[in-house]
Amino acid sequence: MAWQFPLLSLLIWLPIVGAVCVLLTGSDKHAGTARGIAILVAIANLLLCIPLYLGFDVTSYAMQFQEEHLWIRAYQTHYALGVDGISVLMVILTNFTGLLVVLASSQTIKLRVAQYMAAFLTMQGMIVGVFCAMDAVLFYVFWEGMLIPMYLSIGMWGSANRSYASIKFFLFTFFGSILMLIALLYLYNQTGTFRIQEYYGLPLSLHVQKYLFFAFLLAFAVKVPMWPLHTWLPDAHTEAPAGGSVILAALMLKLGVYGFLRFSMPITPLACMRLADFMIGMSLIAIVYVGLIAIVQKDMKKLIAYSSVAHMGFSTLGCFMVYDIIRRMGSFQDAYMSLEGAVIQMIAHAFGSGAMFLGIGLMADRLANHSRLIKSYGGVAHSMPVFAAFFMLFALSNVGLPGTAGFVGEFMVIMSAFQTHFWVATMAALTLVLGASYTLWMYKRVFLGPVTNAAVATFKDINVIERINYILLAAGVFFVGLYPLPIINVLRVTIGHLLLQSIPTGLAMNVPMGWAA
Amino acid sequence: MNFTLPLFSAAFPELILLSMTCIVLLADIFLPARLRGLTYYLTQLTLVLAFVAAFMQYQDYPEPIITFHRGYIVDKLAILSKLIMYVFSLFAFIYARDYIKERRIATGEYYLLGLFSVLGMSIMVSAYSLLTIYLGLELLSLSLYAMVAMYKDSTLATEAAIKYFVMGALASGLFLYGISLLYGITGDIQIATIAQTLQSNLNLVALVALIFIISGLIFKFGAVPFHMWVPDVYQGSATPVTLFIASAPKVAAFVIMVRVLVQALPSLQVAWEQVLILVAILSMFFGNLLAIAQTNLKRMLAYSSIAHIGYTLLGILAGPQSAQGYSAAMFYISTYVLVAAGAFAIIAILSKQGMEFDQLNDYRGLNARNPWLAFMMLLLMFSMAGVPPTVGFFAKLGLLQALVEAHLVWLAVLALVFALIGAYYYLRIVMLMYFEEPATPQHSQHIAVSPGLAAVISVNGVAALALGLLPSTFIDLCRISVG
């Protein structure tokens, strides 16, 4: 094979090497240098995504930009990287979010700047690694390894209750991953390889598939997070620094859904089919029940955290609605739309919730006691009109207003659900009401009305860097909301292929020509 | 019976160790006080020479050589474990130097006893008859008892030494009694002969002998239910002594466990497998659970070592059904020793006269006082917890893979659940170092570390990461040696 430019490796390791360089700047005396290096590295990484996007062949479902080197001879583990349509989008999203976080933090973080930047750059590299890994051990290493910088960032720069939240976060996710490791080892013993793609279509009995399914489910359900394993998220979100919350909401939660797409569905299709109702039920609980919880929150970050759980419920609903559609109607097209909606919801949620977390961090920084309680604010729109306008946009995207990012995914999932199951679709559609009530009610109390806290009146509106951040995010929201075609193009073949692998053979009808292979 | 001259070149490392130890002894007695520093350098030279000798053997002896009346073996397992032990002892002496100098613990004796225990360990791993094993074990144990007792100013150390000695003597007695019973059944003490004679002879006496032998071994290893000495000795001893006890002897104990159980008693495998399952579960359970309650870091690491021994045993008991069980256990114990040595070394480096730095609270805000040492400790703690990309993860991965292959999935799940419990107290150290402020203002000034020591501990800590990123070579080495 001809030598190929190791683009994916560069995307993974550039931030990590950058992190080491940032650490070398040492104490806060050189904070400016640390910030500069971090921003440069983040920009360079985002620029590297351009050749990634341009070079990606949208007509092929094969893994692209592959790299492969033998890593551990004894276990036949490879350092194997590659991207398909889903991962390529997630990699771009990761680097986009990484740049935002570094930019935003360069304004707000004053203490141990070098360590902060290093932690986030490392995290960014590792998350890219998760999306690119084609080898189960490599995947697991990145999957678990990124917990270390996240744990440190919550614990070191978080608010009052940070120690508790960080340990809870770490132990919860560590706990979830345990059984996944066993499942991967089981598959290794069946096949003699750690290559994830070799596991697809493995003739496993339903009994074995169920065990594997639950092992994977625990790992991914903690990350998504699905009810009732979501309790770490509000704690982690509230205590984390703004940058940490953004990474959590925009990227880390996506890993759970990504795991369903990469592992659960193609490896254990029979179990997915059998347990689809259970998964749909859990997703509906997340959407409705957790949505209700969000309404009564007094803490803004907690509110957005619960709303994240509800929105991710849409992604899991979209994933498993596929099986309900196939079982009842066998319609490939509807199943396809459901799955595509799930993936687009993943991407859309990153923009809306990420922006809102940034905004809350930005307001809290302007308040002397860094309060995140809704009642500490009121009338922020008077002192920060530009910020209020931006925040409105992201709030509406969170609600799912047509024309914003939040609408597309939810609409596709609900539409396809209506094809088979009226009540499931109706329940899911409740989110439009619930989402509007918690988001807009919060917006009203925080931004509108008279200024109740004297400190709020002295708030300065957002500065240049913050504006750049918000313009980027707003562009993302509109891009996904108004013109999602480039995204859909990248996804089309990959999702079609994934769908064929994920449904037991012979059940799908009217599969378009060219995909049946 | 005709007399054949043993192949002395096979025992070259041991001969070097013995003769050099005598030279060091003489030098330490007769040199004037101002030249005593030489003892340290001679000691390290000894270890380097022994290392070179063993390394040459690795190339020269591709096939196992059995000599000294079939009581002594040189195979890959022996050589690799010797290499590992020499390196760790070398590190242990480097870390010890400043500490014992500052506290005026009899310096020359520390190195001498250290060398004698290294000799004992060398004999242990090369022993091919039960009596040779016993000789090596006793040489090691007696030296260790004296090393613990050497810190005369500390009542804790004296108490620990007495406990260690009394319990250790009991364990040696159990072990010896087991050997005598085996000799009674088989008429020999040579490992290969025992394995042949005992082939289909699963009788009660053999089982009783097995129980005695396992008890002795488990005691030396420090696993439940013979673990009581571990916390006291680890906490009471001067930190460099703890470091030494916690490192190389664990590898030696692992090797004699393989020799006795796997090579001499394969016919009793059904029996010892069950015993080891129980011991491993109990060790992981009590080790991890009791570690949570500790406020003294040395004591916490003592309980954690009990848990890690439990994990190592998992590899041995999965061995018969899995191709990689033994080598996974070998990998686990050697990397654990690397990490544990690093952790104790950090305690020793941070300790000052009158301020032992062994309470958990001492570590509050270490990141602000010395970021590099805190980072090294972070790597070591995550490695102990088994979080990738540190080496601890790959050690656990190998063991779990062996367990799954041996159809012991339930045990693998259980081991991971205990690992989750264990992660909590390792994370707490990280939490104290990074998330908390120093306890009092006078505890907040910067901690200076001599560049030499900083370099050595960096090698140790970074190795925990580097071996994690590129573990392939070392895993292969373990496979070749134990396979």
Q: Which residue of A has its CA nearest to B393?
A: A141
Where helices occur in A204-331 by DSSP H, the ranges are 206-223, 232-239, 242-247, 253-259, 265-267, 269-295, 300-328
pLDDT number for residue A506:
64
Could you read off the pLDDT of A319-333 as tens digits, one per residue?
998 888 888 877 788
Query: Angle CA(B462)–CA(B463)–CA(B469) in degrees, nearest 5?
Result: 95
pLDDT number for residue A514:
54
pLDDT-flagged residues of chain B (< 50): none
- Measured CA to CA, the distance from residue B164 to residue B242 in angstroms comes to 12
Which residue among B412, B435, B475 places its CB closest to the CB of A155? B435
Are the Cβ atoms of B428 and A167 closer than 8 angstroms?
A: yes
End-to-end CA distance of chain B: 35
Model ipTM value = 0.91
Are the Cβ atoms of B420 and A115 closer than 8 angstroms?
A: no
Are the Cβ atoms of B475 and A72 closer than 8 angstroms?
A: yes
Which residue among A163, A170, A181 places its CB closest to the CB of B416? A181
* pLDDT(A192) > 90: no
Are the Cβ atoms of B416 and A140 closer than 8 angstroms?
A: no
Distant-in-sequence, close-in-space partners of B290: CB < 8 Å, separation ≥ 6:
B231, B303
Nearest to B107 by CA among B115, B97, B117: B97
Residue A345 · residue A410 · CB < 8 Å: yes
Q: Looking at CA atoms only, how far is residue A484 from chain B in angstroms?
A: 37
For chain B, say whether A144 makes contact (Cβ under 8 Å). yes
Q: What residues are paired with A64 via a beta bridge?
A: A83
Q: Looking at CA atoms only, how far is residue A498 from chain B in angstroms?
A: 29
Nearest to B279 by CA among B330, B313, B303, B229: B313
pLDDT number for residue A503:
81
Are the Cβ atoms of A178 and B420 closer than 8 angstroms?
A: yes
pLDDT number for residue B171:
92
Helix H or strand E segment including A347: helix A332-366
Which residue among B388, B413, B420 places its CB closest to the CB of A182? B413
Q: Which residue has the tokens 């890959």?
A: B76
pLDDT number for residue A216:
93
Kindly list the residues from chain B whose CB atom is less than 8 angstroms away from the CB atom of residue A155.
430-431, 434-435
User: Cβ of A331: how many Cβ atoms within 10 Å?
Assistant: 17
- Measured CA to CA, the distance from residue A437 to residue A431 in angstroms comes to 9
Are the Cβ atoms of B423 and A162 closer than 8 angstroms?
A: no
Are the Cβ atoms of B476 and A151 closer than 8 angstroms?
A: no
Residue B269: CA count within 13 A, CB half-sphere: 15
Nearest to A66 by CA among A4, A109, A135: A4
- Measured CA to CA, the distance from residue A357 to residue A401 in angstroms comes to 19
Kindly list the residues from chain A whose CB atom is less than 8 angstroms away from the CB atom of residue B475.
72-75
Supply A79's token pair.
């350092």
* Residue B304: alpha-carbon gap to chain centroid: 13
Give percent of chain A above pLDDT 70: 97
Are the Cβ atoms of B382 and A171 closer than 8 angstroms?
A: no
Antiparallel, parallel or unpaired: β B72-74 and B65-67: antiparallel
Q: Looking at CA atoms only, how far is residue B227 from chain A in angstroms?
A: 28
For chain A, say whether B355 makes contact (Cβ under 8 Å). no
Nearest to A390 by CA among A443, A430, A431, A344: A443
DSSP state, A512? Answer: P
Q: Give the burial string for A397-408 (b: 16+ CB within 10 Å, else e).
A: bbbbbeebbbbb
How many beta-carbon pairs below 8 A join chains A and B? Answer: 96
Distant-in-sequence, close-in-space partners of B348: CB < 8 Å, separation ≥ 6:
B95, B96, B99, B239, B240, B243
Residue B373: CA count within 13 A, CB half-sphere: 25
- Whole-number Cα distances in Å, A484 to A19, A58, A308, A329, A340: 34, 15, 21, 27, 12
Kindly list the residues from chain B whose CB atom is less than 8 angstroms away from the CB atom of residue A181.
397, 400, 416
- Whole-number Cα distances in Å, A437 to A262, A373, A441, B74: 34, 18, 6, 77
Residue A97 · residue A251 · CB < 8 Å: yes
Kindly list the residues from chain A whose CB atom is less than 8 angstroms away from the CB atom of residue B435.
155-156, 162-163, 166
Compute the radius of gyration of chain A from its Cα atoms: 22
pLDDT number for residue A114:
86
Q: Which residue of B has its CA nearest to A174?
A: B420
SS3 B62: coil
Kindly list the residues from chain B whose CB atom is less than 8 angstroms away from the CB atom of residue A167.
424, 427-428, 431
Nearest to A303 by CA among A290, A289, A287, A316: A290
- Whole-number Cα distances in Å, B54 to A441, B49, B245: 75, 9, 22
Nearest to B149 by CA among B165, B131, B132, B125: B165
Antiparallel, parallel or unpaired: β B72-74 and A77-83: unpaired
Q: Looking at CA atoms only, how far is residue B11 from chain A in angstroms?
A: 31
Which residue among B388, B423, B424 places its CB closest to the CB of A140? B388
Hey, of A76, A181, A188, A208, which one would you mutate to test binding to chain B, going by the most B CBs within 10 A of its CB?
A: A181
Q: Give the burial string for B417-427 (b: 16+ CB within 10 Å, else e).
A: bbbbbbbbbbb
Kindly list the residues from chain B whose CB atom is less than 8 angstroms away from the CB atom of residue A179.
413, 416
- Measured CA to CA, the distance from residue A4 to residue B358 in angstroms comes to 52
Q: Which residue of B has its CA nearest to A165?
A: B431
Which residue among A71, A74, A147 places its CB closest to the CB of B476? A74
Q: Looking at CA atoms only, how far is residue B472 from chain A in angstroms?
A: 4
Are the Cβ atoms of B423 and A151 closer than 8 angstroms?
A: no
Residue type, A515: W
pLDDT number for residue B65:
87
- pLDDT-derived band at A1, boundaries 50, 70, 90: very low
For chain B, say whether A482 makes contact (Cβ under 8 Å). no
Are the Cβ atoms of A72 and B472 closer than 8 angstroms?
A: yes
Could you read off the pLDDT of A140-164 as tens digits, one per residue?
999 999 999 999 988 888 888 888 8
Supply A27's token pair.
């104490």
Q: Looking at CA atoms only, how far is residue B92 from chain A in angstroms?
A: 29
Helix H or strand E segment including A187: helix A162-191
* pLDDT(A363) > 90: no
For chain A, say whether B188 makes contact (Cβ under 8 Å). no
- Measured CA to CA, the distance from residue A414 to residue A397 in angstroms comes to 16
Residue A264 · residue A501 · CB < 8 Å: no
pLDDT number for residue B235:
92
* pLDDT(A2) > 70: no
pLDDT number for residue A381:
83
Are the Cβ atoms of B412 and A182 closer than 8 angstroms?
A: yes
For chain A, say whether B415 makes contact (Cβ under 8 Å). no
Are the Cβ atoms of A179 and B430 closer than 8 angstroms?
A: no
Supply A19's token pair.
């992190």
Give percent of chain A above pLDDT 90: 18
pLDDT number for residue A516:
47
Q: Looking at CA atoms only, how far is residue A408 from chain B in angstroms?
A: 37
Could you read off the pLDDT of A409-422 as tens digits, one per residue?
888 888 888 888 88
Omega cis (within 30) before A228: yes
Omega cis (within 30) before B438: no
- Measured CA to CA, the distance from residue B78 to residue B74 in angstroms comes to 6
Hey, of B383, B416, B432, which one would you mutate to test binding to chain A, going by the most A CBs within 10 A of its CB?
A: B416
For chain A, say whether B400 makes contact (Cβ under 8 Å). yes
Are the Cβ atoms of A182 and B409 closer than 8 angstroms?
A: yes
Which residue among B388, B416, B431 places its CB closest to the CB of A145? B388
Kindly list the residues from chain A whose CB atom is less than 8 angstroms away from the CB atom of residue B326.
none
Supply B280's token pair.
């491993």
| Per-residue H/E/C for A387-429 | HHHHHHHHHHHHHCCCCCHHHHHHHHHHHHHHHHCHHHHHHHH
Compute the radius of gyration of chain B from its Cα atoms: 22
pLDDT number for residue A188:
92
Hey, of B401, B462, B469, B473, which one would you mutate to test binding to chain A, going by the most A CBs within 10 A of its CB?
A: B401
Which residue among B387, B472, B475 places its CB closest to the CB of A144? B387
